[in-house]
Amino acid sequence: MPTKVLLTHTAALRAKYGRAGLNRVRDAATHLAASDRARGLRTRWIALDDGRSARALRVRKVDDSSDHEGAKAFVDGLYAAWKPEYLVLLGSVDVVPMQPLRNPLYSRDPRRGDPDETIPSDLPYACEERFSLDPGRFRGPTRVVGRLPDTTGGDDVATLERVLAVAARYEPSERRAYLPPFALTAAEWRGSSSLTLERLAGSADGLSEVPPAGPPWPAGATRRLLHLVNCHGGAADWRYYGQRERSYPLALDAGDLADGRLRERTVGTAECCYGGMLYDPELAGGHAGFVDTYLAAGAYGYVAATNVAYGPANGNDGADLVCRFFLQHVLGGASLGRALLQARQDYVFQKATLSPIDLKTLAQFTLYGDPSVHAVARPRVDAAAAPGEAVPKSRAVADAGPPEGVEARRRRLRANGRALAASTTRASSTPARLASGELSRIKTELSVRAGIETAAAELRTFDVVSAPAAAAGADERFHVLMERDRAGLRAVVAREEAGRMYGATVLRER
């Protein structure tokens, strides 16, 4: 029987909710386990700070809920012993920590470059690679992982009870129920968002461009079950913003999505910076963020970035790809967790080698929701169909449990992830030192290729690191030129090999 593990930290939950509140969380988890059992899924509660469980897994217990290294080692021990199909990190970052991976793009001068010193990430839990703060080590995910958060810093246990209850009562819907989506874009990125929607849903009809469009959005739009937002976001901000030149009007306010304007069963993605940041609402005057807002309304899942994300104005890259791949797999009937796992693998697979921005993108996008949930039903073959004949849509049966052939699929995904880890070269997480003459030459060449002025730009160069089964090219390296212009932070990324420069992709801070 497939296994799902709810991994939490008992002392951290007790500190937030008291003993009675902890018992309420356990009761809600027990109800979820009973519902899962009816679907053919065995669910187990495990605490990072439980000594008996730690001894059984041959790992040390994690007394401090902020011990990210201990939490990673515990998860690796859990997989070595049990190999669960699904891992649910139960609680926010003050219960089960995210891994603070080093951001290779970090600039000590946020006025010129990337302001994020670290990348808060759940990606390492999805990888077999041992503990490290180097994001480049985690390029071959093999595990299905999601997080069911409570409110960071909060003391209302009903929040966690509610997300557990939604996971317990979920029911898949037919694919058509999730289309068309509710889609917003900053006006500057209409080309990118249109391409995403055309590949996702076959048409960009219905895409709202901000400006000139703006809130309030009709309830009929926000109550659609699939959401895609490609706008600006900010740290500890409950709002998303559009853009046209230097104007950044409001696009979406999380507070406006309350009172029935979001439906249970919603699956959402946001390419926006900080859209997946789990912050204490007290930091924002009591305003809850988008993750809390969506899950409180009964959303099945929400995928977003924990800090500054990147994508082009017209093509698809970076944040666009992760969100699109995820939604494509959801619409194809994958569980939410498998959809993100495959999206991560798809992202790595379609890159020749991973740039510093690729490393950040891969690490920062996180699934908030139970990874075992199937939002979209998988068509099944019934006895009335001829051998090998698919059931017509009108006779398709909703499959609330793990799809048939899950073991074979898991073996393939594990093999794919291991192959990617072994064969994917990537940028170093530490920039190389350049002589002043070489620095000036590279900046000039990138300026010509990208058609931009780079006098005030910050250049970073990264050597390419070989993989176990693939060597880096001759003198292969990445150049990343970052500057803030009137439209915000811009990054120009180019790869060099054997003295020849390839491409000059311009990406924008989302």
Q: What is the mean pLDDT of residues 230-241?
A: 97
Report the C-alpha gap between 369 and 149 in whole angstroms.
Answer: 8
Confidence at residue 485, expressed as pLDDT on a 0 to 100 scale? 80
Report the C-alpha gap between 489 and 509 in whole angstroms.
Answer: 5
Report the C-alpha gap between 88 and 8 in whole angstroms.
Answer: 9
- Cβ proximity of 138 and 362 under 8 Å: yes
Q: Please choose, from the candidates 49, 288, 275, the residue with its C-alpha nearest in 3D space to the C-alpha of residue 153.
A: 288
Cα-based angle 59, 62, 64 (whole degrees, multiple of 5): 165
Report the C-alpha gap between 84 and 371 in whole angstroms.
Answer: 12
Burial-class residue 158 by CB neighbours within 10 Å (0-12, 13-18, 19+).
Answer: middle
Residue 379 above 90 pLDDT?
no
What does residue 355 show for φ and ψ, rounded to 5 degrees? -80, 170
Q: Which amino acid, one-letter code, is at 74?
A: F
pLDDT class for 111, splitting at 50, 70, 90?
confident
Weakest mean pLDDT among 25-39, 167-181, 284-298, 389-403: 389-403
Confidence at residue 307, expressed as pLDDT on a 0 to 100 scale? 98
pLDDT class for 396, splitting at 50, 70, 90?
very low
pLDDT class for 15, splitting at 50, 70, 90?
very high
Write down the pTM of the prediction. Answer: 0.93
Q: What is the mean pLDDT of residues 60-83?
A: 97
Within 10 A of 120 (CB to CB), how many other CB atoms are there?
21
| Helix (H/G/I), strand (E/B), else coil: 324 | helix
Instruction: Name which residue leads in pLDDT, 386 or 362.
Output: 362
Residue for token pair 């077999």? 128
Kindly report, residue by residue over 407-459, the tens digit of the pLDDT: 888 889 999 999 999 999 999 999 999 998 898 889 888 888 887 776 678 89
Quote the tokens at residue 71.
């939490």
Q: Please choose, from the candidates 313, 352, 228, the residue with its C-alpha nearest in 3D space to the C-alpha of residue 507.
A: 313
Confidence at residue 455, expressed as pLDDT on a 0 to 100 scale? 66
Instruction: Name which residue leads in pLDDT, 126 or 402.
Output: 126
Q: Strand pairing partners for 496? A: 477, 501
Asked whether the CA dihedral 146, 151, 153, 154 is positive or negative, the reply is: negative
Kindly report, residue by residue over 458-470, the tens digit of the pLDDT: 899 999 999 999 9
Q: What is the mean pLDDT of the chain?
A: 92
DSSP 300: S
Confidence at residue 451, expressed as pLDDT on a 0 to 100 scale? 79
Kindly report, residue by residue over 162-184, the tens digit of the pLDDT: 999 999 999 999 999 999 999 99
Per cent of the chain over pLDDT 70 is 94
Within 10 A of 89 (CB to CB), how many other CB atoms are there?
29
End-to-end CA separation in angstroms for the chain: 42
Kindly report, residue by residue over 480-509, the tens digit of the pLDDT: 999 888 778 999 999 999 999 998 899 999
Instruction: Name which residue leads in pLDDT, 401 or 4.
Output: 4
Strands 310-311 and 500-509: antiparallel
Within 10 A of 432 (CB to CB), how many other CB atoms are there?
11
Burial-class residue 336 by CB neighbours within 10 Å (0-12, 13-18, 19+).
Answer: buried
Q: What is the 3-state secondary structure (H, E, C) of 45-112?
A: EEECCCHHHHHHHCCCCCCCCCCHHHHHHHHHHHHHHHCCCEEEEECCCCCCCCEEEECCCECCCCCC
